[in-house]
């Protein structure tokens, strides 16, 4: 997979999408096509007319995909084992939508190269009908540059876009300049860098601090073919409050939302909540249009 001549298209992400099955009181089994609904919301909001893509994120972790066990958040948010195969509709053709497996490797095994290869292969095989991109969450690349070589190898081996998360521990330890210097040596294997100090906890982003990292990143010659994204407690309200200032400086910026789109429901489950997602996509489209007016 060759590196593009320009930065890849920016995106607005919705994480935790899964077309899960549930049973009606009649006993009938129904599949809710979440990806179809989210794509329709983005289209209706006008997102695709802003040059932004919609990124559909599917969770793929050690517990749910290596051990094939349900985690504490439930299979309505994290598909288990072969459920990953139908987490999104197959053979996607909309050029404005990209399907992302968001991989979280176990911290106790991540240094084992065989383990990494086995887990990625399992996810790629199960998701082969829809997989277009892989996002590496919580990958400890700051202490082991071999992790960056691994990520770039996945990009080539599976012909996928790679999104690399830069999470709180890395941001705190290295700071903006050292993060950018470290990543610049492996820019050929990275398409997007996601600055995310929250990582699915819903903690609100610090826009000022993220701005320091974005300034260094967008100023880097080595990262001139990489694009950047932010995350942290985003929903419709925080998109309208926190992103306009960043967009004014960095108009190609991407972002992603997860935890705030998955509030607990009256069944003690946390599936993607469609009304909140719809409002988030509308707010995202509105701030993009306003920033470019």
pLDDT digits (tens, 9 = 90+) for 60-112: 999 999 999 999 999 999 999 999 999 999 988 899 999 999 999 999 999 99
Residues of the chain scoring pLDDT < 70 = 1-4, 198-202
Instruction: Compute the distance between CA of residue 279 and CA of residue 282 in angstroms, rounded to an integer.
Output: 5
Query: In this structure, is residue 6 part of a structural domain?
Result: no
Mean model confidence pLDDT for the chain: 93
**Residue 25 sits in a domain of what CATH number?**
3.20.20.70
Backbone angles phi, psi at 227, to 5 degrees: -115, 170
Residue 151: enclosing H or E segment and its boundaries?
helix 146-158
Q: Which residues contact 182 (CB under 8 A, 6 or more apart)?
A: 141, 142, 145, 148, 174
Measured in degrees and rounded to the nearest 5, phi and psi for residue 72 equal: -65, -20
In the numeric block, the tokens 């996945």 are attached to 154
34 found inside a domain: yes
Rounded (10°) CA dihedral 157, 159, 161, 167: -10
Q: Do the domain assignments include residue 1?
A: no
* pLDDT at position 3: 65
Q: Give the C-alpha separation, 215 to 235, whole Å.
A: 24
Q: How many CB atoms lie within 10 A of CB 128?
A: 11
pLDDT of residue 111: 95
Q: In the prediction, which pLDDT does 199 show?
A: 60
**Which range marks the domain in which residue 99 is found?**
12-292
In a domain, 5, yes or no: no
pTM of the entire predicted model: 0.95
pLDDT of 269: 86
> How many domains is the chain built from?
1
Q: Structure tokens of 68?
A: 């094939």
Domain assignment of residue 2, yes or no: no
Instruction: Report the alpha-carbon distance of residue 67 to residue 203 in Å, rounded.
Output: 28
CA dist 47 and 289 (Å) reads 9
Asked whether residue 4 is domain-assigned, the answer is no
Within-domain flag for 3: no
Domain annotation covers residue 177: yes
């Amino acid at each position: 997979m060759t590196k593009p001549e320009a930065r890849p298209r920016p995106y607005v992400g919705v994480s935790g999408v899964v077309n899960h099955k549930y049973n009606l009181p009649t006993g009938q089994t129904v599949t809710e096509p979440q990806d179809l609904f989210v794509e329709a919301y983005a289209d209706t909001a006008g997102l695709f007319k802003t040059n932004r893509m919609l990124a559909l994120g599917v969770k793929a972790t050690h517990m749910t995909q290596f051990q094939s066990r349900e985690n504490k958040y439930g299979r309505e948010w994290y598909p288990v084992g072969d459920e990953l195969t139908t987490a999104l509709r197959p053979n996607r053709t909309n050029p404005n939508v990209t399907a992302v497996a968001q991989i979280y490797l176990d911290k106790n095994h991540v240094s084992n190269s065989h383990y990494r290869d086995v887990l990625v292969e399992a996810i790629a095989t199960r998701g082969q009908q829809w997989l277009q991109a892989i996002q590496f969450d919580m990958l400890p690349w700051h202490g082991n540059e071999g992790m960056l070589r691994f990520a770039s190898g996945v990009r080539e081996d599976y012909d996928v876009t790679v999104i690399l998360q830069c999470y709180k521990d890395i941001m705190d330890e290295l700071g903006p300049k050292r993060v950018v210097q470290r990543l610049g040596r492996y820019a050929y294997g990275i398409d997007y860098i996601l600055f995310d100090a929250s990582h699915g906890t819903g903690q609100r982003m610090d826009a000022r601090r993220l701005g320091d990292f974005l300034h260094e990143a967008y100023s880097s010659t080595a990262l001139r073919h990489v694009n950047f994204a932010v995350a942290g407690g985003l929903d419709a309200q925080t998109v309208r409050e926190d992103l306009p200032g960043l967009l004014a400086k960095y108009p190609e910026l991407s972002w992603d939302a997860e935890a705030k789109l998955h509030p607990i429901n009256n069944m003690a489950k946390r599936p993607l909540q469609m009304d909140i997602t719809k409002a988030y996509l509308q707010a995202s489209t509105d701030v993009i249009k306003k920033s470019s007016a």
